Amino acid sequence: MIKKNTQIRNIAIIAHVDHGKTTLVDGLFRQSGLFAKGALPDRIMDSGAIERERGITISAKNCAIIWKGIKINIIDTPGHADFGGEVERGLSMVNGVVLLVDAAEGPLPQTRFVLQKALALELAVIIVINKIDRQDARPQEVLEEVYDLLLELNPDEAMLEVPVLYCIGRDGSCGLDANALDGDLHALLDTMVAVVPPPEYDDEEPFQMLVSDLGYSDFLGRLAIGKVINGSAGTHDSLVCVSEDGQIPLRVTRLQCYDGPTFHETNRVGPGDIVVLSGVEKVSIGDTICTRDNPKALPRINIDEPTVAMQFGKNISPLAGKEGKHVQSTKIYERLRKEALQNVSIKVERNEGDDTVTVKGRGEFQLAIIVESMRREGFELCVGRPTIILKKDEHGKTLEPIEYLRIDCPEIYSGIIMEKLAKRKGYMLDITYNADERVTMRFEVPARALIGYRDEFLTDTRGNGIMHAVLKGYEEYRGDFPDRFSGSLISDRSGTAVAYGLHGLEARGRLFVVPGDPIYEGMIIGEHNREIDLTCNPTRTKKLTNMRAAGKDDAVTLTPISPMSLEQAIRFVKDDEYVEVTPKSIRLCKRMLTAQQRKIHDR
- Residues in contact with ligand GTP by the rule CB under 6 A: 15, 17-23, 43, 55-57, 78-80, 130-131, 133-134, 168-170
Task: Count residues binding Mg ion (CB under 5 A).
Answer: 3
Candidate list 9, 16, 19, 21; residue touching Mg ion; CB under 5 A: 21
Q: Which is nearer to Mg ion, 62 or 461 (CB)?
A: 62
For strand 308-313 and strand 387-388, is the pairing parallel, antiparallel, or unpaired?
A: antiparallel
Q: What is the DSSP string of 256-309?
A: EEEEBTEEEEESEE-TT-EEEEES-SS--TT-EEEESSS--PPPPPP-PPP-EE
Minimum CB–partner distance for residue 104 and ligand GTP (Å): 9
Residue 457, number of CB atoms within 10 A of its CB: 22
**Sign of dihedral through CA atoms 40, 41, 42, 48?**
negative
Minimum CB–partner distance for residue 466 and ligand GTP (Å): 16
Task: Indicate which of ligand GTP, Mg ion, none lies near residue 465 (CB less than 5 to 8 Å, by partner kind).
Answer: none
Q: Can you give the C-alpha Rg of the chain in angstroms?
A: 27
- Residue 327: DSSP 8-state: -
Residue 160, number of CB atoms within 10 A of its CB: 10
Minimum CB–partner distance for residue 142 and Mg ion (Å): 20
- The closest alpha carbon to 469, from 598, 332, 270, 307, belongs to 307
Q: Which is nearer to Mg ion, 57 or 191 (CB)?
A: 57
What are residue 246's DSSP bridge partners? Answer: 243
**Sign of dihedral through CA atoms 78, 81, 83, 87?**
positive
What SS3 state is found at 273? Answer: coil
CA distance 540 to 499: 9
Stretch binding Mg ion (CB under 5 A), from 16-24, 140-148, 176-184, 451-459? 16-24
**Sign of dihedral through CA atoms 324, 329, 335, 340?**
positive
Under the binding rule (CB under 5 A), the answer on residue 80 touching Mg ion is no
Task: Indicate which of Mg ion, ligand GTP, none lies near residue 20 (CB less than 5 to 8 Å, by partner kind).
Answer: ligand GTP
Stretch binding Mg ion (CB under 5 A), from 14-22, 184-192, 464-472, 595-603? 14-22
Task: Indicate which of Mg ion, ligand GTP, none lies near residue 261 (CB less than 5 to 8 Å, by partner kind).
Answer: none
Where is 595: in which H helix or E strand? helix 595-602
CA distance 11 to 124: 9
**Sign of dihedral through CA atoms 546, 550, 552, 558?**
positive
Candidate list 22, 59, 212, 315; residue touching Mg ion; CB under 5 A: 22
Task: Indicate which of Mg ion, ligand GTP, none lies near residue 33 (CB less than 5 to 8 Å, by partner kind).
Answer: none
Q: Which is nearer to ligand GTP, 94 or 298 (CB)?
A: 94
Task: Indicate which of Mg ion, ligand GTP, none lies near residue 170 (CB less than 5 to 8 Å, by partner kind).
Answer: ligand GTP
Minimum CB–partner distance for residue 407 and ligand GTP (Å): 21
Q: Which is nearer to ligand GTP, 26 or 403 (CB)?
A: 26
Map residues 53-72 to x or -, x wherever contact with Mg ion holds by CB under 5 A: ----x---------------
Residues that bind Mg ion (CB under 5 A): 21-22, 57
